[in-house]
Amino acid sequence: MAGNNGVFRFDGRKFVVTGAARGIGYAIARLVAASGGAVAVLDLEGANPEAAASELRREVENAEILTEICDVSSYDQVRAARDALEARWGRADTLINNAGIAYNAPAEEMSVEEWDRMLKINLSGVFYCSQVFGAPMLQERSGCIVSIASMSGLIVNRPQPQVAYNVAKAGVVMLTKSLAAEWAPRGVRVNAVAPGYISTSLTRAWVGTDAMRDYWLGGTPLGRMGTPEEIAYAVAFLASSGASFVTGETLVADGGYTLW
């Protein structure tokens, strides 16, 4: 980008993006690759990260893309993915914690298994990846972590009942603050992005419903859903040297939803 002295370029940087085979994660990986960064796509086998990597290479000429199969809810798999990447690639300097799930259930009906799975993937997975990939960053006294939280970690949005999702995302916000406070003196910045309603496969089932019209779009001052690319730009800012004095923050990108 002209006039910014390369602030928003990622040449020479190595990014690990979890849940990068689709949706917001894929948009982040594509933007990073288009900005000169190397990207390791981490995702479940069923998400077909190899196909995503092939598409990224097709879209971005000369992109350096690696893949690893990884379930972020498994600490052992996260460690194995890091070790495999370091053997092939060296140390990653940037981690994007994007992998997550969403589902709705009334609190009085939610099973213990549903509760545990939500927190295991959406919160514990963020901690596992931050600890495992953050350790080499701390040793080098340099690195950056950006996690995908949600406006649902800041408010109880309507009308869908999603207590476990809200709690997990609120945990990501506090985890971001806690890690940032601990690791800032050791050269590692930790931030988060809190998206509002974004048009992805996770929200597709709500398209055209009264809930979307009355609550989602009706409650958003900008009057529309966001795109994965818009969240990718927010992540890219926090990962860039343009945010070198920013740590412990959660950047809300919700079209103004939390204003009301």
Structure tokens at 46: 């069923």
Find the DSSP H helices in the chain.
23-34, 49-59, 75-89, 112-119, 125-140, 163-183, 210-211, 228-239
Helix, strand, or coil (residue 203)? coil
Helix, strand, or coil (residue 184)? helix
- The sign of the dihedral angle between the CA atoms of 172, 162, 105, 228 is negative
Q: Respond yes or no: is residue 257 known to be catalytic.
A: no
Instruction: Please enumerate in sequence order all residues whose Cβ is within 8 A of that of 80, keeping only pairs 6 or more positions apart, or say none.
Output: 70
Q: Could you count the other beta carbons within 10 Å of the beta carbon of residue 83?
A: 12
| 14 DSSP β-pair partners | 38
Q: Please tell me which residue in 26, 165, 197, 215 is annotated as part of the active site.
A: 165
Distance from C-alpha of 189 to C-alpha of 25, rounded to nearest angstrom: 20
Structure tokens at 123: 């919160």
Give the position of tokens 């288009």: 34
Distance from C-alpha of 98 to C-alpha of 147, rounded to nearest angstrom: 6
Rounded CA Rg of the chain: 18
Q: Could you count the other beta carbons within 10 Å of the beta carbon of residue 163?
A: 16
Q: Let me know: does 132 contact 177? Beta carbons within 8 Å.
A: no
- Annotated active-site positions, please? 165
